[in-house]
Amino acid sequence: MGIAIGLDFGTTNSVVTYVEPNKKPRTYKPGGSPLIPSVIYFKTRDDYVIGQKAVAMRAKNDDGAIDGFKTKLNEDDTPCVVKLEDGSTFKIFPRLVVKLFLNKLLGDVQEHLFKRKDIDPTIDRAVITVPTKFSDRANGAIKTAAASAMQLGVGQIKLVYEPTAAAIAAQQDDEDDASRLLIYDFGGGTFDVSLIQKDGGVFKQIITDGDPKCGGNLLTDILAQYLLTGANDEYGTNFPWDKDDFDEDVHGISEDKYRANRAAILREADYAKIALSDDSDIDVTFPFWTSDTDSENYIVNVSRKEFERLIGERIDHTAKITQRVVDSAEAKSVGGIDKIIIAGGSGQIPMIRDVLAERLGNVPINRSEDVSTLISRGAALLAKDIETLDKVVSQKTTVELGISSTEGVGFGIFQPIIDAGVTLPCENSCNFKLMEDGQRRLKIFYYERDVKNFPNATRIDDDGITQVDALEVELPAGLRKSDTVVKVTFAVQKDSSLELSAQVLSSDGQVIGGDRIKVNKVSDAF
């Protein structure tokens, strides 16, 4: 038996924990830290580095680096533009960035294991954690990229929601008998809160909520905008924070210098956000170009109190969502909660505990001594016995899956196929008509609705309803529009991955052509 891998693939940082046969989990720590920045830097189109090396190299060419690509997976398929040191540019899709990043990261882990002479270094199974409200397209891209990097088959790699992995690690860390754990997971790009109950050895997801756009990076942006406002006031400039609002002629500075300012401010804002978890105040310093020829060294003191004022609304937003879970019928049905477990890098912000305690009263709040590795350790424990994972983890759908109505007055209305809160695995089917005789290809768009945060969203262009992907069904020749139905089955597996299949039926329900027809996701072509 080889090595089991648990990967917390984070928006800001990634963490890898591995388990050797008959031993406890060990976290991979290149350079002494378990936190590997989820950043990739291209020296050339085919030569790149990741992690701390990428962070260091982007200082001389910020346009050569890509970060936040995990979040981009969940948003759209818009390619990232990379500008190399020689001035040339190229475009690359987020899913390919993920593949390259994981290839290098997991290759480095494999190399680290090969240096060990006392073990079989072969990675033969892995569990990858994903946010609860990540789209099927994003999850599929992550799973495919990780499987390719480790050369693993379908049965050797599984996805697990981040709060579930955190609950498993936290339950092992604690010596008490708490069985109903509320996981408050504030990551770099997303916020999740889940009630996980351990019942007879099974970790059951009772209810999940969250905000896929509220993460620690948003807090960094808020602080960065505050710093830019201060610098603008100090030097009489009027540079905007939003890149779309910048104009060289209007703002009197080149785009390169503007982007250099923005990158420097972001780096210092992120550093200050982390430092203010331990310090009451910090001096922030960054170079600031006031014109193409003049640069100032801007220095400002930022206190924890001021930082908390800036982010207070967002932290309160997460607390309201947490309270929504605590007050839910699902939580009451299992008798409430025993303990709150704080996970995710941004969960270390001190005011979070205070806000939660104020809202939720005397519920014990536990922050792991090593919160940064909590999720990856839980994933590694699951990977160790991946053959029995489906027996110890019970998860639910967290968003509605559906299509758009294409007929009559309901045109453009979201039609659910699979509801939120359904225990996995689950499946449902939907019938589609042909547009013309002899049609050989059927294209179907499918969507996800965040019903918790956008309960009134009904049309596919409403906030809270997102197009996930497009499907293409290859059809046999000679079909007639009047008496043919294409039945597409959406099957969500226990690890939340989506499998699709189709059958061609006659109008009386008889299968045409025998075996099921494969359905292709358009995004898989990238």
Enumerate residue ranges in the chain where pLDDT < 70. Answer: 77, 175-176, 367-369, 408-409, 513-516, 525-526
pTM of the model: 0.88
Q: What is the pLDDT of residues 271-321, one digit of tens each?
A: 999 999 999 999 999 999 999 999 999 999 999 999 999 999 999 999 999
Q: By the 8 A CB rule, do 433 and 485 touch?
A: yes
CATH of 179-363, one of 2.30.40.10, 3.40.50.2000, 3.90.640.10, 3.40.50.10740: 3.90.640.10
Domain 400-525 has what CATH class?
mainly beta
Residue 242 identity (one-letter amino acid): D
Note the pLDDT of residue 347: 86
Q: By the 8 A CB rule, do 13 and 36 touch?
A: yes
- What tokens does 468 get? 């996930």
Sort strands 89-92 and 123-130 into parallel, antiparallel or unpaired. Answer: unpaired
The closest of 288, 256, 284 to 269, measured between CA atoms, is 284
So where are the chain's domains?
1-168+373-394, 179-363, 400-525
Runs of H (alpha helix) within 393-492: none
Q: By the 8 A CB rule, do 318 and 280 touch?
A: no
Q: 336 — phi, psi (to 5°)?
A: 90, -155
Count of alpha carbons within 13 angstroms of residue 146, beta-carbon side:
29
Q: 299 forms bridges with which residues in the sheet?
A: 285
Reduced to 3 states (helix: H, G, I; strand: E, B; else coil), residue 219 is helix
Note the pLDDT of residue 367: 62
Task: Round to whole Å and give the CA distance between 423 and 397.
Answer: 7
CA 106 from chain centre, in angstroms, equals 18
Note the pLDDT of residue 175: 62
The helix or strand, by DSSP H or E, that contains position 62, with its residue range, turns out to be: none
Domain 1-168+373-394 has what CATH class?
alpha beta
Q: By the 8 A CB rule, do 71 and 92 touch?
A: no
Task: Round to whole Å and give the CA distance between 408 and 90.
Answer: 44
Note the pLDDT of residue 193: 94
